Amino acid sequence: METTDYALGRTEEENERVRAQARLWSADTARLLDLVGLGTGDRCLDAGCGPGETMRLMAERVGPSGEVTGIDLDPGISSLAPGRVIIHDLTADDPVPGGPYDLVHARLLLFHTPRQAEVLRRLWDAVAPGGHLVVQDYDLSAVGVNPPLDIVDEMTAVLIEAFGAAGCDVRAGSRLPYLMAEAGIGAPDGTDVAGRLVPVAVGTPILESVYVSLLPVAYAKGLTTPADAEKAIDTLRRETAADPDRYVLLPLLNGVWKTKGESR
């Protein structure tokens, strides 16, 4: 597995992990798209679209008279995502291409980017008058299993350190309203917190898949070794199977939204 600009790597396994993660949160993203009134004929953007699962939710709502665009840094995304994908670095000091849009959405993007307020400001600038900005991101601070398991705490600590070492913001989701103020956008019109408390049999494979995607960073930063990682995964699987009554709190997915100025 090669280490890349994206902390979680660019592999087919990582694309599949992102798709599974998207399925987990699709109802919460759909709820916010509906709340701001995304509808027939709208032009919308998913910024940092990945394999394009949110683009599918958008397409269902805007219909054939609407337009769905995805933007991503990764050229490999074009063949995976449905609809038009523009390969572009959203941290670049350029306007967001293809706008203005009736809706700009970004999920799990600011978690990964430096200069978050600047990126957010550019996303806002791409929103048409009367259009909407919807941003969702993780806060990892509450992640854990209950009753606690040392192995989950250990693996979560490696994961959080590895994200930090790769320049990610593991509390981006709770920072969103502050980032909006910093970006000069002003307070959100509304905020949302989505969470999942799931049995260990569901939760620890998710933890394991993120851990595996982060291993190249963790090795490079000396946070674990291949032998220790293998042992940790083995212990996690064994202890999970031994007590299936435990539950895992997954990362919280926090959301903000805001409508721009005059109505359309």
Ligand X SMILES: C[S@@+](CC[C@H](N)C(=O)[O-])C[C@H]1O[C@@H](n2cnc3c(N)ncnc32)[C@H](O)[C@@H]1O
Q: Which residues bind ligand X (CB under 6 A)?
A: 6, 18, 22, 48-50, 53-54, 71-74, 89-91, 107-109, 112-113
Q: Which residue is nearest to ligand X (CB)?
A: 50
The three-point CA angle 116-117-121 to 5° equals 120
- Which lies closer to ligand X via its Cβ, residue 106 or residue 127? 106
Q: Which segments of 7-108 does DSSP mark as H helices, in order?
A: 12-35, 53-62
- Which lies closer to ligand X via its Cβ, residue 158 or residue 166? 166
- Which lies closer to ligand X via its Cβ, residue 240 or residue 254? 254
- Provide the minimum distance between the beta carbon of 144 and ligand X in the complex, in angstroms, as a whole number: 21
- Provide the minimum distance between the beta carbon of 17 and ligand X in the complex, in angstroms, as a whole number: 9
Distance CA 263, CA 261 (A): 7
- Which lies closer to ligand X via its Cβ, residue 60 or residue 153? 60
- Which lies closer to ligand X via its Cβ, residue 35 or residue 86? 86
Where are the strands (E) in 73-126, listed by range? 84-87, 101-107
- Provide the minimum distance between the beta carbon of 4 and ligand X in the complex, in angstroms, as a whole number: 9
What does each C-alpha distance from 62 to 31, 65, 196, 260 come to in angstroms?
A: 15, 7, 28, 19
What does each C-alpha distance from 203 to 72, 82, 93, 111, 132 come to in angstroms?
A: 28, 28, 39, 21, 33
- Provide the minimum distance between the beta carbon of 244 and ligand X in the complex, in angstroms, as a whole number: 28
- Provide the minimum distance between the beta carbon of 246 and ligand X in the complex, in angstroms, as a whole number: 26
- Which lies closer to ligand X via its Cβ, residue 75 or residue 199? 75
Pairing of strands 84-87, 67-72: parallel
- Exposed/middle/buried for 135, CB within 10 Å: 0-12, 13-18, 19+? buried
- Provide the minimum distance between the beta carbon of 161 and ligand X in the complex, in angstroms, as a whole number: 18
Which residues lie below 8 Å from residue 221, measured CB to CB, with a gap of 6+?
161, 162, 165
Pairing of strands 43-47, 101-107: parallel
